[in-house]
Amino acid sequence: MRLRKLHIDFETRSEVNLKACGVGRYAAGESTEVMCLAYKVDKLPTQIIKLDDDWNISNIRRKHPRLIGAIEDGSFSVRAHNAFFEQSIYRDILVKRFGWPEVPLKRWACTAAKAAVHALPRKLETVSKILGLNHQKDMVGHKVMQKMSKPRSQWLSKGKGDKYFTRPDQLESLYAYCITDVDCEAELDDFLEDLSPHENEVWMLDQRINHYGFKVDRDLIRNALKIIDREREQYSELVSDVTNREVTSVDQRERILQWVRDQGVSLDNMQADTLREKLKEKLPHDVRTILEARLSLGKASVAKYLAFNNYATPDDIIRGTLVYHQATTGRWAGKGPQPHNLPSRGLFKKQDPIIKAVKEGDLEWLQAVYGGGINSLVSCARGVIQAREGCELLVGDWAAIEARVLAWLTGNKPALTDYHNGVDRYKRQASLIFSVPIEEIEKGFKRDVGKQAELGCGYGMGVEKFLATCLKAGINLSPELATKAVKLYRKNNKAVVDFWGDINMAAIRAVQRKGTTVKCGLISWKFEGRFLWCVLPSGRKLAYYDPRVSMAATPWGEMRPTLSYMTEDSKTHKWVRRRSYGGLLTENIVQAIARDIMAAAMLRLDDAGFKLLLTVHDEIVAEVRRIGLLGLQKFEHVMAATPKWAVGCPIAVEAWADVRYHK
């Protein structure tokens, strides 16, 4: 029997800023209201419930029996684009305020998640354009919606007039827009395959995690914000004075650059490393002052405190910070306060004393010990996340998971043997590069170089990039040594190098012979419809849209058949044709397998009763009632199990428990 579908889309308005505060706080906000709901039951024409309608369930049941019928019929799948938003609004407003029947999570589906799994952009406007759907997003209506969805500026500033725009013509545009969205979404839904049953389990877990949320320490956030405000102001004054108002804040990159050059000092860019180098030179006093100010304040991590504050509900819970399958490899991305890039490198080790001082406002102590308030806040940003009352956090991470997966995927025996025997692979690489017995390698320079080789050289990294990567990690080495490291890696890891060529050829063949499956070790490729599929050991498929093979030059000028495909550039967000090569495909596959290992562990942990809070690529954060050492051991044990499809993959896990998150 064909799956029956109910597509829905809300337009809402609120005093809460959705972008700044996230769906969790938005939906829970008292001022948040539904302006309309468009819905489509199977293939029937899309209907709409309007602002002035009576939204109480008794009336809706009378006026929209098909809608309520579908909602109450367990055989209907309820679908939306970015379903997390619709779920939240449905539950917090329609169920709570108007008595609508609840819809359990397992009946929901999300067309944005489906687009993501197909390696297409999540944005409905973009994806419908790319696929050339009959229904396209109504961009004029979109503008009207944005106007109507927040309070009028007159009302906000002076409390004058109506709170929202509600002219009849505007409302009609809004309704038309909402209907078009549902039509567009329904067409997209039909065009794309549903998530596999297993991936649907992963998606549902993602939704549970996002709804459950994590607790933050509001007291810490408030005091941190006070410190940030004060120091920013001090620095702004200083900068204004020194530059005669040409620069009024350390954030004005272009203006500082220009001003510094006007003082006769050359400066390539405003990157921290460049500034640090520059400060080693002899500089005019004022220039030195400005650059030092910029260095102390130009820290992305302090903005986190504001994001935390915005996202947190009145009971200090932050929800909806994970984006399922945002990376084309299937990894999650972070959102809002971005829990995926909290500072971890180069921190002051113990955050508890810093947190105490921040809460007490002991700026003198922070200044004396940590060189300033903002400087110290970087080191305790993770500590904002804490366990709920009576609970503790369990945090586990996989050791060098991608390097281990690479060894397993490529059948790289020497590496596999080392990992199975617990040999330090970074030391192994160092021993080979520096021609020193492995026992003599200690922590420090040599092992650091070995680490960069083990982690980066597996995907074709060249000498120059290796040098740059090392430099960024604070390792200074000669071009000769870099050359040696890269060459030796390739010589000593033949299986990896062979895999680059093999996987590339297999993908190219699959594109050339549409419909046939081409195997390459644990991976197989198949070109079907508009997608090149890469079947992973877990059975999950990675998508590459609109693949082509054409002759193209390598960076060193050799013409070869080259695979390319369309993708959203992860930095610019532009839809571009991208050329691939063996190293890139290898990296994508390795990252995807590591993600599958993690997703499988998340499902097992969830089954075992651990409340999951976050996933950070190779790390899982869970929360439990305080149950002591036994809980931690069980957590580690469940997390470390190898899925059936990954037998022989040498994975290793470490876990700890605490009431506060840290590195």
Partner DNA sequence: CGTTCTCGCGCG
Partner DNA sequence: AAAGCGCGCGAGAACG
Contact between residue 600 and residue 540 where contact means Cβ atoms under 8 Å apart: no
Please report, as residue ranges, which positions from 356 to 415 form the binding site for DNA (by CB under 7 A).
378, 397, 402
C-beta of 6 vs 381, nearer to DNA: 381
CB atoms closer than 10 angstroms to residue 388: 18
Q: Which of 41, 549, 551, 594 is nearest to 327 (CA)?
A: 594
Stretch that binds DNA, among 95-103, 237-245, 614-622, 637-645 (CB under 7 A): 614-622
Pick one of 121, 141, 320, 343: the residue that binds DNA (CB under 7 A).
343
How many chain residues are in contact with DNA, going by CB under 7 A?
80
Q: How far is the CB of 124 from DNA (least distance, A)?
A: 13
Q: How far is the CB of 125 from DNA (least distance, A)?
A: 9
C-beta of 139 vs 630, nearer to DNA: 139
Q: Does 233 bind DNA (CB under 7 A)?
A: no
Pick one of 440, 554, 627, 658: the residue that binds DNA (CB under 7 A).
554
Q: Does 328 bind DNA (CB under 7 A)?
A: yes
Q: How far is the CB of 181 from DNA (least distance, A)?
A: 16
Contact between residue 115 and residue 188 where contact means Cβ atoms under 8 Å apart: yes
Q: How far is the CB of 396 from DNA (least distance, A)?
A: 12
Interhelix angle 479-492/425-434, nearest 10 degrees: 120
Q: Does 463 bind DNA (CB under 7 A)?
A: yes
Max Cα–Cα distance, the chain, nearest Å:
82
Q: Does 326 bind DNA (CB under 7 A)?
A: yes
Q: CA torsion angle for 221, 226, 231, 234 (degrees, to 10)?
A: 160
Q: Where are the beta strands (DSSP E) in 81-186?
A: 108-110
Contact between residue 176 and residue 138 where contact means Cβ atoms under 8 Å apart: yes
Q: Does 329 bind DNA (CB under 7 A)?
A: yes
Stretch that binds DNA, among 359-367, 427-435, 453-461, 635-643 (CB under 7 A): 453-461
Residue type, 272: A
Q: CA torsion angle for 563, 569, 570, 572 (degrees, to 10)?
A: 160
Contact between residue 622 and residue 540 where contact means Cβ atoms under 8 Å apart: no
Q: Which of 348, 242, 226 is nearest to 294 (CA)?
A: 242
Stretch that binds DNA, among 176-184, 366-374, 565-573, 604-612 (CB under 7 A): 565-573
Please report, as residue ranges, which positions from 479 to 498 form the binding site for DNA (by CB under 7 A).
490, 497-498
C-beta of 252 vs 431, nearer to DNA: 252
Q: Does 316 bind DNA (CB under 7 A)?
A: no
Return the CA Rg of the chain: 27
C-beta of 46 vs 564, nearer to DNA: 564
Q: Where are the beta strands (DSSP E) in 387-479?
A: 391-398
C-beta of 338 vs 367, nearer to DNA: 338
Please report, as residue ranges, which positions from 60 to 119 form the binding site for DNA (by CB under 7 A).
none
Q: How far is the CB of 463 from DNA (least distance, A)?
A: 6
Q: Does 301 bind DNA (CB under 7 A)?
A: yes
Dihedral sign for Cα 551, 556, 558, 563, please.
Answer: negative
Pick one of 456, 537, 547, 631: the residue that binds DNA (CB under 7 A).
456
C-beta of 253 vs 548, nearer to DNA: 253
Q: Does 335 bind DNA (CB under 7 A)?
A: yes
C-beta of 180 vs 493, nearer to DNA: 493
Q: How far is the CB of 39 from DNA (least distance, A)?
A: 26
Q: Does 171 bind DNA (CB under 7 A)?
A: no
Q: How far is the CB of 545 from DNA (least distance, A)?
A: 12
Distance CA 449, CA 429 (A): 8
Q: How far is the CB of 33 from DNA (least distance, A)?
A: 20
Distance CA 578, CA 565 (A): 5
Please report, as residue ranges, which positions from 518 to 537 form the binding site for DNA (by CB under 7 A).
none
Compute the C-alpha angle 268/269/273, nearest 5°.
Answer: 100
Q: How far is the CB of 662 from DNA (least distance, A)?
A: 11
Q: What number of H helices and E strands is found in the chain?
A: 28, 20
Pick one of 17, 59, 263, 344: the residue that binds DNA (CB under 7 A).
344
CB atoms closer than 10 angstroms to residue 627: 13
Q: How far is the CB of 555 from DNA (least distance, A)?
A: 5
Q: How far is the CB of 327 from DNA (least distance, A)?
A: 3
Stretch that binds DNA, among 350-358, 514-522, 572-580, 636-644 (CB under 7 A): 572-580
Q: Does 334 bind DNA (CB under 7 A)?
A: yes
Stretch that binds DNA, among 107-115, 160-168, 344-352, 424-432 (CB under 7 A): 344-352
CA distances 437 to 178, 361, 428, 450, 483, Å, are: 68, 52, 9, 13, 20
Q: Which residues contact 268 (CB under 8 A, 6 or more apart)?
A: 274
Phi, psi (deg, nearest 5) at residue 267 = -155, 120
Please report, as residue ranges, which positions from 148 to 167 form the binding site for DNA (by CB under 7 A).
153
Q: What three-state secondary structure class fits 521?
A: coil
Q: What three-state secondary structure class fits 359?
A: helix
Q: Does 562 bind DNA (CB under 7 A)?
A: yes
Please report, as residue ranges, which positions from 628 to 657 form the binding site for DNA (by CB under 7 A).
none
Stretch that binds DNA, among 277-285, 303-311, 356-364, 528-536 (CB under 7 A): 303-311
Stretch that binds DNA, among 76-84, 434-442, 474-482, 554-562 (CB under 7 A): 554-562
DSSP 50-101: -TTS--SHHHHHHH-HHHHHHHH-TTEEEEETTHHHHHHHIIIIIIHHH-PP
Q: How far is the CB of 553 from DNA (least distance, A)?
A: 8
Please report, as residue ranges, which positions from 255 to 284 form the binding site for DNA (by CB under 7 A).
255, 269-273
Q: How far is the CB of 559 from DNA (least distance, A)?
A: 10
Stretch that binds DNA, among 278-286, 334-342, 356-364, 540-548 (CB under 7 A): 334-342
Q: Does 11 bind DNA (CB under 7 A)?
A: no
Q: Does 306 bind DNA (CB under 7 A)?
A: yes
Phi, psi (deg, nearest 5) at residue 620 = -125, 135
3-state DSSP helix/strand/coil percent for the chain, to nearest 5? 50, 15, 30
Stretch that binds DNA, among 27-35, 412-420, 586-594, 626-634 (CB under 7 A): 586-594
Burial track 99-121 (b if 16+ CB lie within 10 A, e otherwise): ebeebeeebbbbbbbbbbbbbbb
CA-based end-to-end distance of the chain: 51
Q: Does 500 bind DNA (CB under 7 A)?
A: yes
Q: Does 556 bind DNA (CB under 7 A)?
A: yes
C-beta of 345 vs 349, nearer to DNA: 345
Pick one of 298, 353, 411, 414: the residue that binds DNA (CB under 7 A).
298
Distance CA 148, CA 166 (A): 7
Q: Does 565 bind DNA (CB under 7 A)?
A: no
CA distances 150 to 18, 164, 253, 341, 383, Å, are: 9, 7, 32, 30, 33
